Structure 1
Amino acid sequence: MNENLIYLCDLTHTAHGVVSEFVPYGIGCIKSYFHTHSRFGKDVEVKLFKYPADLAASFERDMPGVVGFSNYVWNHSLSHGFAQRIKELAPDCLVVAGGPNYPLEAEQRERWLREHPAYDIYTAGEGERAFTMMMDAWLPTRDKKAMWERGLPGCHGLENGKAHLDDVIPRQDNLDDFPSPYLAGYLDDFLLRPNSIPLVEAARGCPFTCAYCERGSVKWTRITRKSVDVFEQELASISAKTKSTILLLADSNYGMYPQDVEIARVIKRSQDSAGYPLYVSVSTGKNAEDNILKCVEILGDSLPLTAAVQSLAPDVLRNVKRQNVSTDKLISMAKSAHARDSITRSEVILALPGDTREKHFSTVFQLVDAGMDLILLYTLMLLDGSELNTTTYKTRYRMQTRHRLSHRCYGNYPFAGATVHAAETEEAVVALDTMTFDDYLECRALALTSSIFYSDEIIYELYAFLDRQGIKASAFLRTVHEQRDRLMPSGLADLYRAFQYDTAQELWDDREALKELLRTGDEETIRTKAVGYNILFSYRGQAFFELVDEIVHMAFNAARELLPAEVLANANDYLHELERYVVFKKRSPFDCSLTFSDSFNYDFPAMEECRFDTEPLKLDAPRVLDFRHTERQAALLGSFEPGIEGAKRAMPRLSVPKIYRQVHWA
């Protein structure tokens, strides 16, 4: 055993494709802080790992004295499985873990530690200082008993059956105190990998205390920041090495603060000088809309505006300690973002305490009428580290939960002559004192309807026409949803049946029975009985990849049924041409090899300039339009594998409207 060697591991499942494509920034920060602040930082080597095969190969070559693992909902079982095998191979190796996927209640924390005996120590809260202080206590003596006697701030663990649950150490005041792993070159190997997406933060913490979020604890309410100069240096280093076109900014409420505008200017300068990033993935804040819109104005279509409301029902929001902007402000922000050529997104969580079928439908329809381009509809997961996942909340709202396999997060991984079997499961709320399981299923069906008939501007041109006729987007979407069995073509009908089957099939009452299936079942059995992928994203991706023609045709037929006869008589020719225009622009939008050309009697490019907020513009004579992707669009799509699987992975990562074909007069 090499006692002067430390492994830090932020593992991702790879058996069914790389689940987390992001550069392991967190463990990079821990390494940087250790090398800078530990009295042993110059004497001990630290290696970083993300891929299970790399960890297995390296461990067999040079067995380290310390191994640390990240613990998230998507790698919990994988990390602990490798930790268990390491303890079998090297009982004296110190194995530690840290991350947000850890209970809040002391009793539950002690139970968790007893259920995960492979971990000697768990760091709660920010890991950089806690890990370094732990190493400064461990490396001189390598004696766990002596460490606990001395005290380990921010560390939890068991020693001779006794639980140590020391208080979390105070958070650092300034992110510049954590030396950048990018500038130190510690993350270069990950940046250079194809399809690896850089992750960086400009601020850490969240001022809100939402009960469903692991960042809702008061310990995270203080915001700590990185200086703009350091961020700019990091971005320059990243842009010179990465093969990606995307940047993930890990800030929880980007845009709410004046410094965020400076960060936007830094990103814009990088775009202008280095061509990176083409797209910034980040959650924008829900307050300080003027400041957020300044960021949107600077970055334009590379920065989507996100309004994560979760619910618009006042009592539901009170139950989870959530505050939202008003619906009027949502509408205003959406219009302002569109004027700046940005895409707008919102997020909703189904089955929050106090939620009902009617309240959930109302939230979705209000967001539709507010003009949000993409509405992401999630089911409520009970996350360790969140207040919602406590006995008090579960009992008060009579939560009924079921377990499911996290999408693509399972597999068998060879390690030192054995196989580590790992499968991640989630606990989802499927009923409450105010919501039945049948209500839950119908709300999930609405999620599919809104995903393929509203989100991503799939038919926004038609919505704009209906709005000018006094027909609200919500009224149209409700009609499509309620009349779907009658209106659907065969391909969409098959898609809905499969979606509804998988939605029920993925949920298990017995978590241990699900785990046994995942341990013993073959691939086909697991796919059949446990599904194993994000159902909504998958079916949405399939619809956009294969069924755009059917989606558009069904939508236009539904619109014709809603329009007054006299309006339809005057607009029928226009609607037929508009339907053809939409299909050519959006059919198989992920396939850059497809181009189209056809003759039209309406000036659709001019109507695009005002987002179709105009009467139909008739041409004096027919003209030919060309439909094709740009080089920039092809570069964005090049970050994902071709085919339907790439489409499913691209849709949550990109603003899909920005990859629809561009239109030009021939």
Structure 2
Amino acid sequence: MTHNAQTVSSEFMPYAVACIGSYLKAKINYPVNIIISKFIEELEKELVNTTPDIIAFSYYIWNSDLSLKCAEIVKKRFPNAIVIFGGPNFPVEQERQKEWLAENRHVDFYIRFEGEIPFLNIVKVAIESDFNVDAVKKSGLKSLVSYDGKDYYIGQLENRLKNLDDVPSPYVSGYLDKYFSTSLWPIVETKKGCPFGCTYCTEGYDYYNKISRRSPKLVNEELLYLAKKKKKCSMIFVADTNFLMFKEDLDVCETLKLTREKYSWPTFIGCSTGKKRKDLVITGAKMLSGAITVAASVQSMDDVVLGNIKRDNISESELLDMAKELKNSDGISYSELIACLPGDTLDSHFKSFEKLVASEIGMIKHHTLLLIEGAPLSSKESREKFKFKTMWRPVSKSFGEYSLIGEKFSSMEFEEIVVETSTLSFDDYLACRKMGLVVHYFYNDGLFEELHGILNHLEIPIWNWLKLIYENVSATNNNLQKLFADYLEDVKTELWYTKESLLHDLKKYMPEFINDKRGSNLTFKYKALLLMNDDCLKDAFSFGFKMMNKLAEQKHVTDKLSMAFLYQLKQVSLMRRESLFETKISHRAVFDYDFTGVYSKKYMTNDLFRKVNGGVETIICHDEAQRKFIEEYFENHTERTVEVASLLNRVPARNMFRKLTVKKPM
């Protein structure tokens, strides 16, 4: 189940549950009718004409409450139906598991970890027992947790699938065909498992440390099927935990390269790239010509923090080499930092920012630490050891008022975030969030890449410029200052002290959530607000140039700057970004400089500051691929802030900046 009251909270096809259905159909010798539903409207339509024997729900942080409430209504209407849950958002400790099952008696079984084999086994025993739920509970099936009001049953873990070819593609099998008329992203998964043991992750257990694979033949078949069937969505997400960490991943890139050439699909590929083998990551990124974002996720650059979360990062030298290689080949790279990790301090957090900025990584995604049920770091032991203080907030876009088979209800998902630890205060947390927005505005996405080039030319570290912005932005008196003030206020007001107090206020604030006044991912909401308001964007550029000039004065290098060049560069920069989603805008202007060199040479050189005799006629507009991508997106989405924020969360804004072409020298 997926929320869709404000907007679609998870814009992906329901691939994981479809895989479970596809595996069941392939392995069971019994006529089963499998129906996949992602939205409440679909489920209601099916339940009008169907009496389910078994109904299964996924259980993630973004649909937990919705799935539980839908399951409760279904169980009430169909009391003999067996209700099964599965997904990563389940408690770690057995006592909490018992409490969860006692609180949710309408759930008959919870499948721990991977679901294909356990679900098949449930269905087999259910058929043999004429769908007697008590008989299934007493059968001792592996990976199942259940409670009958008296006894608590927990089975040993079932073996994981060793060969993903045992799961027929749910796309090729036709289970997801109905979603090709929507804008949902297709997901593919060529491998399962992760060799790392990060404690903040739901795959940070030994259970997942072996890799199971799908054969290249079946992966290619699936990708070609998607390329031919695609209608409204030009994007895809590769769900491997460490894509491009294995040599065979280059075969996937080769197939995607071919589908891009033959079918013009996909235009963008989302993924989480591997934490090792950066040589493969770079090779894959080059093959796909900037259509893929490459991750160098570090979470922190502090050794104490990394030890506390059992994280083994790539070295700083490897990070630097990868970032520069990708920059020189038009690849898009990103890294991630998490605030409030155990042992982190404000100073060490800012130093992590500084090191990443110095590496010239393309983007730095800044997150707050979530205590996810099912992750080792959410255990009682970890909470006490690191003195976590937490608060609650609604999960972005995951709320609404709904009706299912005649019963109306409200639903909201919650997440528990760490706002204070033994080494980082709440005020420090707010400072981390403020710096996160500074980086998001002034470093990420190449929004100020021209200014970065000037700073590099002057040999002024970009981090010094970002810190100066951080220290002075609240003292400005313009639209930019208001954005920061509103953001920091929202950072505080998005939090509740307890889940109970948030539930108490649910009815009061639900209209504001649905109408886009609350409940968005704040970082991307405020990125959208900046890019959707030309006055804000102009103020940001003026402030950015002002801070650069201040640093140049402090370093006594203003003689290296041409004021005429900077003035015209600012004009060009704004023309590329103002009214960004208006594809019909085309600027034509004569400049004293050939600004195409600013972008083609990657770094500023002295020859760029020389005026061209007669001037250069320059056209600034979206190219055909950009126009098609933007127009397709807004055919299926509105230009509300929440929808623009969702786009920016998935696709780098720099992919949509207008291109420069020189018409002819005057």
* Structure 2 CA distance for aligned equivalents of residues 644 and 137 of structure 1: 49
2:633 partner SS: coil
Q: 1:510 aligns to what?
A: 498
Q: Is the 8 A contact 1:271 1:277 kept in 2?
A: yes
* Structure 2 CA distance for aligned equivalents of residues 126 and 462 of structure 1: 48
> Is 1:651 aligned with 2:651?
no
* Structure 2 CA distance for aligned equivalents of residues 254 and 503 of structure 1: 33
* Structure 1 CA distance for aligned equivalents of residues 471 and 193 of structure 2: 42
Match of residue 532, structure 2, among 545, 549, 563:
545
1:483 partner SS: helix
Q: 1:515 to 1:616 in 2, by over 3 A?
A: farther
Match of residue 612, structure 1, among 586, 603, 616:
603
Q: 1:5 aligns to what?
A: none
Q: 2:109 aligns to what?
A: 121
Q: CA deviation at 1:520?
A: 5.1
Q: CA deviation at 1:589?
A: 2.1
* Structure 1 CA distance for aligned equivalents of residues 236 and 598 of structure 2: 32
Kindly provide the amino acid, as one letter, of the partner of residue 574 in structure 2: V
Kindly provide the amino acid, as one letter, of the partner of residue 532 in structure 2: F
Match of residue 238, structure 1, among 223, 226, 245:
226
Note the 1:149-188 alignment, pairs <5 A. Answer: 149-188=138-177
Q: 1:7 aligns to what?
A: none
Note the 1:215-294 alignment, pairs <5 A. Answer: 215-242=203-230, 243-294=232-283
Q: 1:31 aligns to what?
A: 21
1:532 partner SS: coil
Note the 1:188-587 alignment, pairs <5 A. Answer: 188-193=177-182, 195-242=183-230, 243-486=232-475, 488-519=476-507, 521-524=509-512, 531-546=518-533, 547-564=536-553, 567-569=557-559, 570-587=561-578
Q: 1:94 aligns to what?
A: 82
Seq. identity, %: 29
Q: 1:112 to 1:339 in 2, by over 3 A?
A: same
Match of residue 52, structure 1, among 5, 18, 40:
40
* Structure 2 CA distance for aligned equivalents of residues 271 and 521 of structure 1: 45
> Is 1:131 aligned with 2:127?
no
* Structure 1 CA distance for aligned equivalents of residues 510 and 228 of structure 2: 43
Kindly provide the amino acid, as one letter, of the partner of residue 399 in structure 1: F
1:150 partner SS: coil
Q: Is the 8 A contact 1:538 1:648 kept in 2?
A: yes
Q: CA deviation at 1:594?
A: 2.1
* Paired positions, count: 651
1:406 partner SS: strand
* Structure 2 CA distance for aligned equivalents of residues 596 and 337 of structure 1: 29
Q: CA deviation at 1:54?
A: 1.4
* Structure 2 CA distance for aligned equivalents of residues 286 and 522 of structure 1: 40
Q: Is the 8 A contact 2:457 2:603 kept in 1?
A: no
Q: CA deviation at 1:604?
A: 1.1
Q: 1:644 to 1:423 in 2, by over 3 A?
A: closer
Match of residue 4, structure 2, among 9, 14, 17:
14
Note the 1:614-629 alignment, pairs <5 A. Answer: 614-617=605-608, 618=610, 619-629=612-622
Query: Runs of 4 or more off by more than 3 Å in structure 1?
Result: 519-522, 524-528, 564-567
> Is 1:636 aligned with 2:629?
yes
Q: Is the 8 A contact 2:300 2:349 kept in 1?
A: yes
Deviations 1:255-302 (A, max 9, x none): 111011111111111111111111110011121111111111211210
Q: Is the 8 A contact 1:39 1:136 kept in 2?
A: no
Deviates more, 1:279-288 or 1:510-519: 510-519
Kindly provide the amino acid, as one letter, of the partner of residue 545 in structure 1: M
Q: CA deviation at 1:621?
A: 2.7
2:53 partner SS: strand
Q: 1:408 to 1:153 in 2, by over 3 A?
A: same
Q: Is the 8 A contact 1:489 1:554 kept in 2?
A: no
Deviations 1:87-144 (A, max 9, x none): 2112111111100111121122111111221110011111111101100001222122
Q: 1:4 aligns to what?
A: none
Match of residue 662, structure 2, among 659, 662, 665:
665
1:323 partner SS: coil
2:400 partner SS: strand
TM-score by length of 2: 0.95
Q: 1:346 to 1:147 in 2, by over 3 A?
A: same
Q: CA deviation at 1:557?
A: 0.8
Kindly provide the amino acid, as one letter, of the partner of residue 628 in structure 1: C
* Structure 2 CA distance for aligned equivalents of residues 656 and 527 of structure 1: 25
Q: CA deviation at 1:62?
A: 1.8
Match of residue 105, structure 1, among 75, 84, 93:
93
> Is 1:588 aligned with 2:579?
yes
Match of residue 73, structure 1, among 39, 43, 61:
61
Kindly provide the amino acid, as one letter, of the partner of residue 639 in structure 2: G
* Structure 2 CA distance for aligned equivalents of residues 325 and 149 of structure 1: 48
Q: Is the 8 A contact 1:13 1:411 kept in 2?
A: yes
Deviations 1:620-659 (A, max 9, x none): 3311211100111122222242524332111111122121
2:569 partner SS: helix
Kindly provide the amino acid, as one letter, of the partner of residue 662 in structure 1: K
Q: Is the 8 A contact 2:399 2:514 kept in 1?
A: no
Kindly provide the amino acid, as one letter, of the partner of residue 240 in structure 2: D
1:45 partner SS: coil
Q: 1:53 to 1:468 in 2, by over 3 A?
A: same
Q: Is the 8 A contact 1:13 1:19 kept in 2?
A: yes
* Structure 2 CA distance for aligned equivalents of residues 526 and 665 of structure 1: 46
* Structure 1 CA distance for aligned equivalents of residues 125 and 498 of structure 2: 42
Q: Which runs of 5+ in 1 are unaligned?
A: 1-10
Deviates more, 1:268-277 or 1:53-62: 53-62
Q: 1:6 aligns to what?
A: none
Deviations 1:505-545 (A, max 9, x none): 011112111012114545138889x9311111101111122
Q: CA deviation at 1:251?
A: 0.7
* Structure 2 CA distance for aligned equivalents of residues 140 and 293 of structure 1: 52
Deviations 1:452-496 (A, max 9, x none): 11111111111121112120010111011111123x351111111
Kindly provide the amino acid, as one letter, of the partner of residue 648 in structure 1: A
Deviates more, 1:302-311 or 1:607-616: 607-616
Q: Which runs of 5+ in 2 are unaligned?
A: none
* Structure 2 CA distance for aligned equivalents of residues 642 and 527 of structure 1: 13
Kindly provide the amino acid, as one letter, of the partner of residue 375 in structure 1: I
> Is 1:598 aligned with 2:589?
yes
CA RMSD of aligned residues (A): 1.6
Q: Is the 8 A contact 1:317 1:323 kept in 2?
A: yes
Kindly provide the amino acid, as one letter, of the partner of residue 595 in structure 1: S
